[in-house]
Amino acid sequence: MTDLRRRTVVSSISIAIVVCLIVFAFHPIIQYVVAAVVAALAGIAIWEYEQFAKAKGGQMILPVLIVLTVLEVLSFFVSTEGLCFSSLPIIVFFIAFLILFALHFGEKDGAVVDLAVSSFGLLYIAVPVGMILGILYMNGVDGRWWLTYLLVVTKITDIGAYFAGSLWGRMKLAPSISPKKTIEGAVFGLVCALLASYIFHIASDYASPFHLGMYEWLFLGLLLGAVGQFGDLSESLLKRDANKKDSNALPGLGGVLDSLDSILFNAPIIYIYLYFLKL
């Protein structure tokens, strides 16, 4: 109960900050604050990921990787400024890939593992986190609604799965990597995702220009509910392999990567959906 109270307090403060940033996201000054905050979170997450890699013997040039992560995240923000910048995230990722190779030219032992670990970090963390900014500031849609939809459906899935698993869970979902997660919790989390998605569908009738159609709420609700839990399990896999309980020791949170794990897999879904089907 003590841990639950701590998590509730920290989560409430975090939610209040996120809500304020989203509400005022289009303010000429606040938009840069939002971009800086998201980039900083990505930098912390990549540092936490580096601790996993170090525990398994991987060597990463951390300062460079943090800088490349921040640049990749910000490239998504800049890409929303106009069509001429739309390919910037791909360009920055490719340049970052070249830089990582170049930095290993002086070594011949362990280069394959180190490059694989570093490149995976960019793909696993920097790109999805950058897509959060891409969703928020994407031209042609109200990104504030879509980002809120992404965060609410994803997190309500986590919350529903946690409480249902704690209260009624019996059958283990993936005992080798996450002993406390249960099939009952996963099913209830999926139901919560669908319910939240349906509420957004109803609200979209009164929230122009945001629109979530009859089939969209069902399709996206199912997809976000299932893939988000897959993302949670995926981070658990990395933590267990590195023999770590949490990605960090932040009070009431664990780590930034712990908070982002399900969003890392769901952000690309919404980004790709908006980019190809809504614009």
One digit per residue, the tens of pLDDT, for the chain of length 279 reads 456 677 778 778 889 999 999 999 999 999 999 999 999 999 999 999 999 888 888 778 889 999 999 999 999 999 998 888 989 999 999 999 999 999 888 776 778 888 889 999 999 999 999 999 999 999 888 899 999 999 999 999 999 998 898 888 889 998 888 888 999 999 999 999 999 999 999 998 887 788 898 889 999 999 999 999 999 999 999 999 888 877 776 666 678 999 999 999 999 999 999 988 765
Residue ranges in 24-87 assigned as alpha helix (H): 30-55, 62-79
* DSSP bridge partners of 250: 254
pLDDT of the residue at 89: 96
Contact criterion met (CB below 8 Å) for 262 and 236:
no
pLDDT of the residue at 184: 94
In this prediction the pTM is 0.92
pLDDT of the residue at 76: 97
Domain ranges across the chain? 42-136, 139-279
pLDDT of the residue at 160: 93
pLDDT of the residue at 11: 79
pLDDT of the residue at 3: 62
pLDDT of the residue at 19: 94
Q: State the angle between helix axes of 143-168 and 214-241 in degrees (0 to 180), rounded to the nearest 10.
A: 60
Contact criterion met (CB below 8 Å) for 136 and 147:
yes
Contact criterion met (CB below 8 Å) for 186 and 173:
yes
pLDDT of the residue at 64: 94
pLDDT of the residue at 108: 66
